[in-house]
Amino acid sequence: MPNTVLIGSQWGDEGKGKIIDVLTAQADMIVRYQGGSNAGHTVIAEGKKRVLRLVPSGILHEGKICVIGNGVVMNPLDLIEEIEMLRSTGIECLNRLYISTRTQMVMLYHRALDRADEAARPEGKKIGTTGRGIGPAYAAKVSRTGLRCGDMLTPEFPDLVREQVEETNAKLAQLNAEPLNADEMVKTYIDAAERLRPYIVDTIPMIHEADRAGKSLLLEGAQGTMLDIDFGTYPFVTSSNPTSGGACIGSGLSPRRIDRVVGVIKAYTTRVGEGPFPTEDFGDIGRELAERGHEFGAVTGRPRRCGWFDAVVARYAQMVNGVDFWALTKLDVMDTIAEIKICVAYELDGKRIETMPASVAELARCKPIYETMPGWLEETSNLTSMDQLPPKAKAYVERLIELSGGRLGILSIGPARESTVRVGI
Ligand code: GDP
Ligand code: IMO
Ligand code: MG
């Protein structure tokens, strides 16, 4: 398989975990390149459901090497928990999972800051974060006060943790939040460092050697294009670059070594947290999609907001990521809908626009311009080839791809590995 970057094309939860698991069969090394335990990637394999937050979703395939790249913000305590969860379900990470010495860490004090910051924001200014400390950890990275995994292996580590806890306590006091106990925290992290020591290596030469040896690399994005700190609905975004450009920054692989980009996209749209969402449906359709699609956060359990497919979003994702192939997911969720709408453009202040506005204030004023198609009202979850797709479902899929640009590579019609039709890839 050519070196592949896989990205989310909407507001996250497109089914990236499932598609990574499917593509892993042909990959040798899977590299997570950004985000942290704000992600929840669900993989259902051999009847077992697992939600992965930091470990690449390729881990369920025996013998594949998984890497947590330098662009990730890694919470050591969450990672230990995830490694244990995998071990208890028969998957051993040791000698298969490697964490970059350059990976920034999310510490308990980042989490405390994330929550205190959200609580202090007035209504309308809240982001609706996952409360996992992601924003503060990336802020620390950029302000050059972050701790990296490599620091865990040095004798100075306890002092570095203590210093950061003390500095954070001053910030927490300003936000009227409780201070943290530095001694306890130092103890917790010394223990975590010992447990994670065998996994921490310089992953840059490792990735390059694999590439030079002709192995195929699969770079796993978390979140989605519309949550990108640069390209998303700023400020209602996450603090990293989920888009395909982030794959190079977050792994150390050169852009010249990327062969193709796969964009995962749902047959409708969802969003968790705050921020504009033009096609959101507050009525029966929104409820039906949420129920049939089990649209509840894999990490926080929060209900996801649901609505129609937005081709303005898809086209924009195609542009900024350079999507070669789409993996279209959750078509089966729409099996019961009699009349389906697709947003083809927006109306902004009386004018038709085809592209994504940069300002959230403008996006909030955008009204979707819909095209309507008849539903197929047949079950699609059992089909095994495109020929078996009901003609109306096929027309819907073809129209989505036509509006989005690029080609269809994978059609997903159920959460399990088997419920997948591979078309072009
Ligand atoms: P991710 O964050 O992009 O990996 O997506 P999540 O795992 O957070 O959310 C996707 C949800 O949809 C999970 O519960 C998956 O098991 C489920 N899922 C993935 N693909 C399909 C599909 O084609 N059909 C249905 N019905 N469910 C799917
Ligand atoms: P996966 O990888 C959906 C959203 C949060 C919030 C915003 C900022 O499973 O697709 P953060 O905690 O990152 O500072 O929150 O981003 N968000 C996600 N929404 N899927 C995710 O990940 C998300 N990760 C963050 O809900 O609106
Ligand atoms: Mg998710």
pLDDT > 70 fraction of the chain, expressed in percent and rounded: 100
CA 275-112-108 angle, to 5 degrees, is 120
What's the pLDDT at 139? 98
Look at residue 113 and give its three-state secondary structure. Answer: helix
What's the pLDDT at 421? 97
185 Cα to the center of ligand 3, angstroms:
29
13 Cα to the center of ligand 3, angstroms:
4
CB of residue 227 inside a 6 A radius of ligand 2: yes
Q: Over the stretch 20-57, which tens digit does the pLDDT of each residue have?
A: 999 999 999 999 999 999 999 999 999 999 999 999 99
Look at residue 109 and give its three-state secondary structure. Answer: helix
Please tell me which residue, 276 or 175, carries the higher pLDDT value. Answer: 276
What's the pLDDT at 300? 78
228 Cα to the center of ligand 2, angstroms:
10
CB of residue 132 inside a 6 A radius of ligand 2: yes
What's the pLDDT at 297? 83
In which residue are the tokens 């989605």 written?
224
pLDDT > 90 fraction of the chain, expressed in percent and rounded: 96
Reported as a pLDDT band with limits 50, 70 and 90, residue 425 is: confident
CA distances from 34 to 85, 160, 222 (A): 22, 24, 7
Mean pLDDT over each residue of the chain, to the nearest integer: 96
- Tell me which of 21, 41, 61, 324 is the catalytic residue: 41
Reported as a pLDDT band with limits 50, 70 and 90, residue 199 is: very high
Q: Does the pLDDT at position 419 exceed 80? A: yes
Question: Of 420, 226, 394, which Cα lies nearest the Cα of 315?
Answer: 226
Active-site residue flag, 13: yes
What's the pLDDT at 3? 98
Q: Does the pLDDT at position 299 exceed 90? A: no
Q: Over the stretch 160-174, which tens digit does the pLDDT of each residue have?
A: 999 999 999 998 899
Query: Rounded to whole angstroms, how far apart are CA atoms 410 and 23?
Result: 10
CB of residue 128 inside a 6 A radius of ligand 2: yes
Lowest mean pLDDT among 14-23, 175-184, 337-346: 175-184
Q: Over the stretch 172-183, which tens digit does the pLDDT of each residue have?
A: 899 888 999 999
